[in-house]
Amino acid sequence: MAEPLLSVRSLEVRFRLDGRSMRAVDDVSFDLQKGQTLGIVGESGCGKSVTSLSIMRLLPSPPAQVAAGEVLLEGRDLLKLSEREMRKLRGGRIGMIFQEPMTSLNPVYTCGDQIIEGLRVHSGLSGKAARDRAIELLELVRLPSPEKRIDDYPHQLSGGQRQRVMIALALANDPAVLIADEPTTALDVTIQSQILDLMRDLQERTGTAIMLITHDLGVVAETCQQVVVMYAGSVIERGPVDKIFADPQHPYTIGLMAAVPRMDAGRARLASIPGSLPPPWQNIPGCRFASRCPLADNRCQAEMPRLREVTPGHDVACWKAPIEGAG
């Protein structure tokens, strides 16, 4: 396989709070290929947002501290760059979209001003050229009547329209990677489907690689080619989307998929995963899912399973996989 565009290797992030040091992200590794969409999926507290924020170097330090690992973008380790170099990359080679565009857009500037600012800083465009390019971008994200909307303030737009402006802003300087952290979670389902449709379409046209952080397996199934499943700070399973859904290996992945209420299933009882996440400060030598896993034995309690390949390209971190037969 070609050299990945973005490669996260053995990333470990710790938080120091109240004199306690806790591991929020532990030994996380994955690759994002050019032109691909990679989904990072998991529930609250799994470390997916901490992972994406540390890639962008947006975690406040202290309390956060990247304790180990590398984040290679086109061969360069982002963790070693100066803040100045990093600022050049954000909004340039790395585009970002967040869940609530209202908090990421500046309320006192028009949408156009914010896009033009990005173009000026990163691409050196100014004046009419910048304004024309901004209108072109708003057209690209299918904002209705962009030549008028460009002078609107964020509060004059609906949630879906604001997210379109965020995407235009993120794509302004032809980024190599777009990091989207729960980009549709705050939107209504018909608007969500419009935004996902737009992201797919833009990817086909621009070839931007997308890292999509989400809690929603439905969104993953509809947009991603590769999936990374996280639990309690670790990657517990990863692989191509078809394989993860057709052949889930980790007991947590299996439980998570079975817990999703399906529209085609009738009034059946939902499968749930009993128990809850272990507290992050608890030092667990073994598998973090062991306390909720019906298959866990002494080895699972004592020894942390590493990712290993079960079928080509499909890795799982579980001593018991593949779970078959009498189990």
Partner 1 sequence: MADLLEIQGLTKHFPVRRGVLRRQIGTVQAVTDVSFTLKRDETLAIVGESGCGKSTLGRAILRLLEPSAGTIRLGGEDVTSLDRRALRAARKRMQIIFQDPYGSLNPRMTVREALSEPLLLHGMATPATIRGEVDRLITMCGLSAWHAERYPHEFSGGQRQRVGIARALATRPSLIVCDEPVSALDVSVQAQIVNLLQDLQRELGLAYVFISHDLGVVRHIANRVAVMYLGRIVEEAQTDQLYGNPRHPYTRALLAAAPRADPATARHKPPIEGGTPSAMALPSGCAFHPRCPLAIERCRTERPEIRAVDRNRVACHRADEPVTGTLDQAPGQGSPALLRRLAILERRRAAG
Instruction: Report how far residue 220's alpha carbon sits from residue 241's, in angstroms, rounded to the nearest whole number.
Output: 8
What's the Rg (C-alpha) of the chain?
21
Task: Supply the DSSP string of 15-65, one letter for each residue.
Answer: EEETTEEEEEEEEEEEEE-TT-EEEEE--TTSSHHHHHHHHTT-S-TTTEE
Of these, 82, 263, 283, 312, which contacts partner 1 (CB under 8 A)? 263
Site residues for partner 1, window 117-146 (CB under 8 A)? none
Q: Is 18 in the site for partner 1 (CB under 8 A)?
A: no
106: its two tokens: 């500046």
Task: Round to whole Å and give the CA distance between 170 and 32.
Answer: 18
Chain positions 145 to 164 lying near partner 1, rule: CB under 8 A, are 158, 160-161
Taking the complex as a whole, how short is the minimal distance between the CB of residue 91 and partner 1, in angstroms?
A: 27
Binding flag, residue 266, partner 1 (CB under 8 A)? yes
Our CB check for partner 1 shows the closer of 188 and 309 to be 188
- CB-CB contact of 241 with 40 (8 Å): no
Residue 150 in 3-state DSSP? Answer: coil
Question: How many positions of this chain bind partner 1 (CB under 8 A)?
Answer: 58
Query: For residues 69 and 261, what is the distance between their CA atoms, to the nearest angstrom?
Result: 37
Q: Per rule CB under 8 A, is residue 309 in the interface with partner 1? A: no
From candidates 9, 222, 278, 304, binder to partner 1 by CB under 8 A: 222
- Which residue of 58, 67, 260, 302 would you call a contact of partner 1, by CB under 8 A? 260
**Is residue 192 a contact point for partner 1 (CB under 8 A)?**
yes
Task: Output 71 or 168, the one with its CB closest to partner 1.
Answer: 168
CA 70 to chain centre: 17
Positions in 42-81 near partner 1 (CB under 8 A)? 43-44
Residue 261 CB: number of other CB atoms within 10 A? 7
Told to check if 205 binds partner 1 by CB under 8 A, we report: no
List residues binding partner 1 (CB under 8 A).
43-44, 158, 160-161, 188-194, 196-197, 200, 215-222, 241-242, 245-249, 251, 254-274, 276, 294-295, 323-324, 327
